């Protein structure tokens, strides 16, 4: 019979990549995010000084370009004389690892529950949807502060608390997409072939949701980084002497007028990373969400 229709030889994913590459702001943001990721991974080797070791003689030493600064401590020192650059680099590690861990765990849990709720409907769906509604009703920070107060601070506890609240986000999105997908004839065709529910969920439906899930995950990662910083700022997060952007801001609060760099520089770091993640995920959504593309 005939030759194949001369449709575009690229897959939808490739078309998405093409569109993403054309988006300069998104590509620059991706580069910035990648830069932070490298800092986080290689922190001990990149950081010029030990982030926890202070030299009281260098207390509140200004950045290198200001009077009294020196090149060995380019961003100056904090109230305990610790190198701010080194603490920022190690703080990147904390922020990004918490962000990635929370998003990964929440996405896995949320996607699984969302798939099941959307596909099976019935009592399970009602139960999940109620839990989601209740969790959504809590303000994020108050929920986290309350739980952290009960469980005590610490890296593992932050991740746990944030995951307990965070899984509802991917869950809602995945449930809605699954509700739509289960009405598609290809799902009906899979049932008619005698496929198992597991096959239908993970091989038929999930691949069609992945790009949406990716976009949600990156958007949420930015939010998680802010929330972690807020918790650390309040003293409920990563404990001293370990460096975290939130606690660094808190540390510099009282010297705001005399030594602005102690609080401001970690604030700028948060701003840069969160902004970059948001612009990148916006770009990814535009590129991969067929609904928005002509």
Partner 1 sequence: MTDIASPPLLRLVGVAKRYDLRRGLRRLLQPAEGNTVHALDGVDLEIARGETLGVIGESGCGKTTLGRVALRLQEPSAGRVEFDGIDIGSLDARRLRALRKRMQIVFQDPYASLNPRRSVGQIVGRGLALHGGATTSAERHARVAALLERVGLPRAAMARFPHQFSGGQRQRVAIARALAAGPDFLVCDEPVSALDVSIQAQILALLGELKRDFGLTYLFISHDLSVVAHVSDRVAVMYLGRVVETGPSRRILSAPAHPYTRALLAAVPRLDARDAPPRQRLTGDLPSPLRPPPGCRFHTRCPEAREICRRVSPAPIQLAQGHAVACHLYSGAAP
Partner 2 sequence: MSAAPLLSIRGLRTVFPTRQGLVRAVDGVDLDVAAGECLGVVGESGSGKSVTFQSVLGLVRPPGRIEAGEIRFDGRDIAGLPADALRALRGGDIAMTMQDALTALNPAFTVETQIVETLRAHRRVQGGARALRATAVELLARVGIPDPESRLGQYPHQFSGGMRQRVMIAIAIACRPRLLIADEPTTALDVTIQAQVLDLLAAMRAESGMGMVLISHDLGVVASHCDRVAVMYGGQVVESGPTRAVIDAPRHPYTRGLLRSRPDLAHPERPIVPIGGQIPDPAAPPPGCRFRPRCPEAGPGCDAPVALRDLGAGRAARCVRVAA
Taking the complex as a whole, how short is the minimal distance between the CB of residue 103 and partner 1, in angstroms? 23
Lay out the site mask for partner 1 across 200-239 (x = CB under 8 A, - = otherwise). ---xx--xx-------------------------------
Q: Is 7 in the site for partner 1 (CB under 8 A)?
A: yes
Q: Is 193 in the site for partner 2 (CB under 8 A)?
A: no
Q: Is 292 in the site for partner 2 (CB under 8 A)?
A: no
57 makes contact, choosing from partner 2, partner 1, none, with CB < 5 to 8 Å by partner type, with none
Lay out the site mask for partner 2 across 7-46 (x = CB under 8 A, - = otherwise). xx--------------------------------------
Q: Is 2 in the site for partner 2 (CB under 8 A)?
A: yes
C-alpha to C-alpha distance for 172 and 177, rounded to whole angstroms? 9
Stretch that binds partner 1, among 106-114, 133-141, 147-155, 186-194 (CB under 8 A): 186-194
Q: Is 56 in the site for partner 2 (CB under 8 A)?
A: no
Q: Is 4 in the site for partner 1 (CB under 8 A)?
A: yes
Stretch that binds partner 1, among 36-44, 191-199, 236-244, 266-274 (CB under 8 A): 191-199
Question: Which residues of the shown chain bind partner 1 in the complex (CB under 8 A)?
Answer: 1-5, 7-9, 11-12, 126, 184-186, 188-196, 203-204, 207-208
């Amino acid at each position: 019979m005939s030759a194949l229709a001369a449709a575009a030889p690229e897959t939808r994913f490739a078309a998405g990549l093409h569109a993403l590459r054309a988006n300069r702001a998104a590509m620059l943001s991706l580069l910035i995010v990648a830069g932070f990721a490298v800092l986080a991974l290689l922190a001990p080797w990149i950081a010029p000084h030990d982030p926890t070791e202070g030299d009281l003689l260098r207390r509140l030493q200004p950045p290198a370009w200001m009077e009294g600064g020196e090149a060995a401590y380019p961003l100056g020192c904090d109230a305990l004389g610790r190198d701010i650059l080194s603490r920022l680099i190690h703080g990147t590690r904390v922020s990004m690892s918490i962000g990635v861990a929370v998003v990964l765990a929440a996405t896995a849990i949320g996607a699984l529950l969302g798939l099941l709720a959307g596909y099976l409907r019935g009592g399970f769906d009602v139960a999940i949807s109620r839990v989601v509604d209740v969790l959504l009703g809590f303000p994020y920070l108050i929920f986290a502060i309350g739980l952290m107060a009960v469980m005590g601070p610490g890296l593992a506890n932050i991740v746990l608390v944030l995951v307990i609240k965070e899984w509802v986000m991917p869950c809602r999105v995945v449930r809605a997409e699954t509700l739509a997908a289960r009405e598609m004839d290809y799902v009906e065709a899979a049932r008619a072939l005698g496929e198992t529910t597991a096959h239908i969920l993970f091989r038929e439906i999930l691949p069609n949701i992945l790009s949406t899930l990716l976009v949600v995950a990156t958007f949420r990662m930015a939010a998680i980084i802010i929330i972690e910083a807020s918790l650390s700022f309040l003293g409920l997060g990563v404990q001293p002497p370990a460096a975290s952007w939130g606690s660094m801001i808190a540390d510099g609060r009282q010297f705001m007028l005399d030594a602005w760099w102690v609080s401001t520089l970690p604030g700028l770091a948060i701003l840069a990373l969160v902004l970059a993640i948001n612009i990148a995920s916006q770009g990814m959504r535009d590129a991969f969400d067929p609904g928005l593309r002509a």
